[in-house]
Structures are given as structure tokens and as C-alpha cells.
Structure 1
């Protein structure tokens, strides 16, 4: 693999100052301070706020200065990430969810992997839940990984290549990310990492999990949950799924999907499971809507 030009200190390896950490927030005041505090002092931080209804007053309480970009409207996760990448002026960008925290040496481990594997490459830390469970992305909406083909955590020894980017935390050369087109801005929320993975693999850009680099991800805490928000998020998720399936020329039986989701709504209602009902009903509504481009819901 050809090496990508980087800002390098004496010694030949890029330093933490070569990495900008990009956060995208939406009503994330409850979690963002811990995430920002986990970023090494040498790394610049860009926070792109997607017009949070709660505002951005929390910036004054952050443990360190950040470069805040306040979007005039909620443009979606991928669009905001692209804004953050363009705002950065370092060789690398690391995208991190606001409910995730970097281990103290995570960026050093990722930069050491740059020296090992060259560039361009997408480098992902090992993502673990708060209970210590390893969270791996097992396939995408277009490339399923059968359960029997999945590795158990104890079978993983060292770094490994995968075909799937986990959007919660990954690092890439800034210029390489932008040359790849960044995230597809027609996708408002969810599956933008599936699409990025497909484009990266088509260009033979490796996706490497660096197991010594760790990120703790709370999951689902980037904004305050509610029935309405869960419904809207899952409606958007279905819009994204239908868009990506259409983009890559894959057909899906929408009538069968509607029947499955409708049955799921009924079961959730019978069980009085409001959370599951919001998920199934949101996806049912999104499936009825069909493909939506650049028509963000209020989430």
C-alpha cells in the first residue's frame, strides 16, 4: 500500500497532533463532556452540532476548548461528519460518537497502525460496551455475515481486516476520506457507514480493526430517547436502508417487509412493549414512505 503524505515529527511516525477528533451532536449535552475529556490534549477537537433544540450552551462547560460548528438545520449525521472533516486541518480525522470514550492510548495505537499498514486505510479501534463486551459490526444491509461464520472474541488475536466500517469510531486520512466522497449526504441517518464501506472496498482501501486501540461505547445515548424520537429515528433508518438498496441495484420485497413489520407492531402492542413498538412502527412508516432523499425527519 502506498503511503499517504502526513505531518511527521522527528522519528518518522505521525503524532497525536496529526489527528482531529470530530464529534457530531444532537441534544448530546448529557454525554459529550466525557467523550471530549477522553481526547488527548494534543488532538484538535471539532464538534458539529446539528441544530440541537437544547442549544449549545454546554460548550462552556466542556473540559477543554473545541471548535464548534453550529449547523443552521439538522443536516443528518453523514453531512455533519463531512463538515467536520472539511473543517479539520490535520492529516487524519477520527470520527467518534459523543457517547463513546477513547482509551488513553487509543490514538497512539491507531497512529502506530498507520506506520505498519500504510495508507490510505480505514482504521477502527476495538469498540467495547460499558460492560466490556466486544461490539463488532457483523455485516451490512447488503452483505450479511452468517452467525456460523462469525469469530468469537477469543478467536481474535491481533489486528484484522474486515469489510464493514463501524461509524461509531474510525480514523482515516482526511484527504483520502474526502477523495472517497466522504459520507453520502443523501443519507440522513444510519447505513451511511455501510455505503462508505462498499465504496472503500470497491477502491481496494483496506478496513483494519486495530485491537490494541480501545473505545468504550455506551450506545444509544447520543441524545435523550423518547417514544417519538425512537419512532422518527427508525423511520429515517428505513429510508436509508431503502436508499442504499436502490443505489446498489438490489431489490427487496416491500410487501413482505410491510407484513413482517406490521406483525411486529401487533406483537409489541400485545406485550405492551412501547420501545419495540416505536421501532417497528417507525420502520413500518418508513417502508410505506419509500425512498426519501434529503428529506430529514425531525429527530
Structure 2
């Protein structure tokens, strides 16, 4: 991991007009029952920028579309095709040189777009640019390695140690800017992954192609990270089953499988401990992963 010596001032401020940004970037959102958060996310996009919202057949519908505060194009998938497939559809619908993928529960800071675009000009192509992603409480949210090279929290850069832009080895799917050409040259998101770890897979392909992944701390995105609602036990089970299915898929794809029996034994032990502690949420987390361990590493259903 290397650090850039480029100071924030080289690509901060508003050198790029809103009109130029509009001609340069499409912001792609993927929604699934996102009515409670998507209006604020769309409102954070600079005026004039192209906005593409891809809906994965939300059961709650898309009635919110007529209530958002600015023009946006709606792409309806017709089925829950998965996060990666919907992102690819949004990228195909975009016609601008750059794409900013943004989660519907995230909001751009006031100068984030201009700062990321200035960084793209500074570092050239191809490159993947990520803003600093912070929680509602201001806590820096990041991961610095893929599932094959996880970096423990104790070894990650501390906020006070970050003196400028720096390279990392993980693309956080919640928010990143990339040229449309570079995204498709990398193959886009793997549509064999329904949900979770699709950003690990994109990171691994970027690393293999020596495409730099650069964090630009001068650009910020506020990410709720699911804080708006707490999933029930059934949904917790389902989410963690999907996570394990995706991990199975990625590990099989890169020839890095884990022993299913060893993992299953660990998860069974975790279930029993959580049950003894009367923690049903942790029971469902481990039970969902345990079920996913024995699912085939194949295309997941919606």
C-alpha cells in the first residue's frame, strides 16, 4: 500500500463548474425498497448531473420516483437481478465519461463531486477513486483489503495518520468514481454474484490489472449503512446466507476455497454460544452463514 504526496489543495474547491460536471458524470443508484432513503441521496447530487436509478423490482414499488426533487432516469429491471447486475444496467444506461456508483442510503458532501473529478484529472486513467465514507456520527468507515487479505482494525490507518490521498486494495461498493470505459474494460460487476462481495471481486480484478484504487479523503460521503432500520431475525438469517453464498462463489472463482466442514464446525459452535448467551440475533447470523456454507457456489436467486 503506498501513499500519495499530492496535497488536498490540488483537487479541492470548485474548479469544475456544475455544467461541466453534468456533462462528465452519471450517478448510478440501485434501489430495492429504498423509498425511505433515495430522495435524500438524489438531492445530494449536484444540480445538472445525470442521475440513473435502477430498481430491482422493489415490492414497495417506485411511487417515490414522482416525488424526488430533481430529474432522474428510472431503469426498471423487472426482477430482482442482484446488485451487480443492476449496477451494470445503470452503467450501460449512462452516456457520460465517468460513473459514480452511490448507495441509496448515502449522501454526497457539498464538494465531493468536484473533488473526485479533480483527482481523476490528476491521477489519469485508468483509476478507481473513492471518497472518505463516514457514518452519520462522523466515524470513518473503511476496509483496506479483500476477503483474501483482510486487514484487522488495529492495523488500519488511523484518521490522524491520513495526510493525503492514498492507495488501497479494496473498492467499497457504497461509493466510488470510475471512468465508464475503465469499468467495462474490467468487465463490470460479476453478475454471478447476487449480493455481497461483488466489490471484493471487482477489487481483485483491478489489482490483477494494476488499476490503482485511490482514496480521496478531501471528498466525503455520509453513509447510513442500514442504520435506518434493524432487520428482523428472518432477514438477518437471509442476509448472512447471501453473504456466505457470495463468499463461496468468489473463493471458487479464484481457486481459494475453505474447508466447509471446518467452517461449519466453527459456526455450529458460534450458534451454541450465542444461544447460551440468549442472543437470537447472533444465532441467526451464524445460522444463516451455516446454511450458506452448503449452498453451491453458483448464481444466486433473488
Report if aligned partners of 2:18, 2:48 keep a CA contact under 8 Å in 1. no
Q: Which residue of 2 aligns with 1:140?
A: 146
Structure-2 separation of matches of 1:257 and 1:45: 42
Instruction: Tell whether the 8 Å contact from 1:129 to 1:216 is kept in structure 2 after alignment.
Output: yes
Say whether 1:125 aligns with 2:135.
no
2:263 aligned partner: 257
TM-score, reference length from structure 2? 0.90
Contact 2:145 2:168 in 1 (8 A): no
Q: Following the alignment from structure 2 to structure 1, what is the Cα–Cα distance between the partners of residues 141 and 178?
A: 20
Change (3 A) 1:271 1:144: same
Deviations along 1:100-141, one digit per CA (max 9) or x if unpaired, are 000011000000101210111000000001110111113221
Counterpart position of 1:167: 173
The partner residue of 1:30 within 36, 44, 61 is 36
**Which of the numbers 266, 276, 279 marks the counterpart of 2:272?**
266
Which residue does 2:291 correspond to in 1?
285
**4, 14, 21: which one pairs with 1:16?**
21
Q: RMSD of the TM alignment (CA)?
A: 2.0
Query: Does structure 1 residue 208 correspond to structure 2 residue 182?
Result: no
CA deviation profile, 1:144-194 (whole Å, cap 9, x unmatched): 224553221110111001111001000100111011100000011111101
Correspondence for 1:276 = 282
Shift of 1:274: 2.8
Q: Find the aligned partners of 2:267 and 2:16 in 1 and give their Cα distance.
A: 56
Q: 1:244 to 1:169 in 2, by over 3 A?
A: same
- From 254, 279, 301, give the equivalent of 1:296: 301
Residues 174 and 14 of structure 1, relative CA distance in 2, 3 Å threshold? farther
Q: 1:147 to 1:34 in 2, by over 3 A?
A: closer
1:113–1:210 contact (8 Å) kept in structure 2: yes
Q: When the two structures are aligned, how many residues end up with a matched partner?
A: 287
**1:116 maps to what in 2?**
122
In structure 1, list runs of 5 or more residues that go unmatched.
1-9
CA distance in 2, matches of 1:229, 1:257: 22
